[in-house]
Amino acid sequence: MEAYLYQISTFFANLKSYPVAAALITLGFFAVLAKIVDLSVHRMLKSFCRKSGVTIEEKLLAIIHHPIWVVMLLIGASVVFRWLDLLPQYNYVVRGVFRTLALLVVLTTINRFVTTLFGHWSESREGGTEVINKIEGAAQIALFLVGLALLLAIWRINPAPFIISAGVVGIVVAIAAKYSLSNLFGGISLALDKPFKVGDYIVLDTGERGKVTWVGFRSTRILTRDDVQITIPNAILSEAKIINESAPFPRYRIRIKVGVAYGTNIDTAEETLLEVARSNPKISKFPEPRIRFREFGNSALELELLCWAKQPQDRGVVIHQMGKTIYKTFQEKGITIPFPQQHIYVHSSAGRPEPTSNVDSNPKADD
């Protein structure tokens, strides 16, 4: 065994005398290594797709197949120049160019891989796509920073002066863009807390109510029932009191007060209201509609119909439909909805003594 190892070491030592042969052998070695890496990556990627349920295995394999060969051959080419008799400065530049090209290929491939993978996850999920988009954006920023650090390392550039300059510039930018930064951190807090998602109906403490159409790092957009789009900075939204009408369930509770005249069969009135609620297709079957007796009013027995619209945006149209149907159904069944009224009783003044006059009708003449 020792003899074989000695022969191999002697062989590589003698290669220095034959730079062209050494270059060809090096390229052949990296070609074999590229094939081994290609097979290994394919096996690991198939295992990952099988365990994670990803169904775009062929697309991901196509993304990384050719770049593996290109990167390995570029690295091999940079090593080949060690066998050639070039001046040190030329050797440094040529090897740096090959390594930079390999780095760009790797970064581009990883970016395409991540974009395709996160795009697949976003399409396969009904909700939570804004979180996936934010994670994808963070991954791309991290990839850029890592690539920049590796590029500086390839060309042996000391990043300390740049870091110091960036720190000073960062302070100036932070002071000038403090509102933008507060919106950015507000967007991060909204992404972590997740008080709402795209498609939810929310009500702000300032009175705005609408459907969330877009959640970004800087601002959030809602579309009101008047089809007016409102853009709210995340810094304000993160500090505001938010009522999410779509959480934890999308249905919305509706209260309709109805008064029936005294003397009405209250059981019949109650069953009629429940029938009206159950017949409306926009009313949820669970929880079931219910009736509550509230009070003996001045002019009517006050009842309240409680039911749930399937979607918060249906609140207005459901109240409209239910009000019309209740009125028509009560008319058909002879149930009276009284209106406020007052009776004024006027007491007669008969039987009271007639007022007497102090004036004498036949005055006597003075003598």
Q: What angle do CA 242, 247, 253 make, to 5 degrees?
A: 95
Distance, CA of 113 to CA of 60 (rounded, Å): 6
Instruction: State the sign of the Cα–Cα–Cα–Cα dihedral 94, 96, 100, 102.
Output: positive
Closest by CA position to 126, among listed 212, 199, 57: 199
- Residue pLDDT, tens place only, 86-134: 656 677 788 788 889 989 999 999 989 888 888 877 776 655 566 677 6
Task: Place 13 in a pLDDT band, splitting at 50, 70 and 90.
Answer: low
- Residue pLDDT, tens place only, 22-43: 777 777 888 888 888 888 888 8
Cβ neighbour number for residue 73 with a 10 Å cutoff: 17
Cβ neighbour number for residue 54 with a 10 Å cutoff: 17
Chosen CATH of 195-244 out of 2.60.40.1930, 3.40.50.620, 1.10.10.10, 2.30.30.60: 2.30.30.60
pTM beyond cutoff 0.75 = no
CATH number of this structure's domain 252-333:
3.30.70.100
Contact 23, 84 (CB under 8 A): yes
Q: How many CA atoms lie within 13 A of 195 on its CB side?
A: 19
How is the chain split among helix, strand and coil, in percent rounded to 5?
A: 55, 15, 30
Tokens standing for 259?
């008064």
Break the chain into its structural domains and give their ranges: 15-157, 195-244, 252-333
Closest by CA position to 262, among listed 306, 323, 322, 303: 303
Instruction: Tell me what pLDDT residue 8 has.
Output: 54
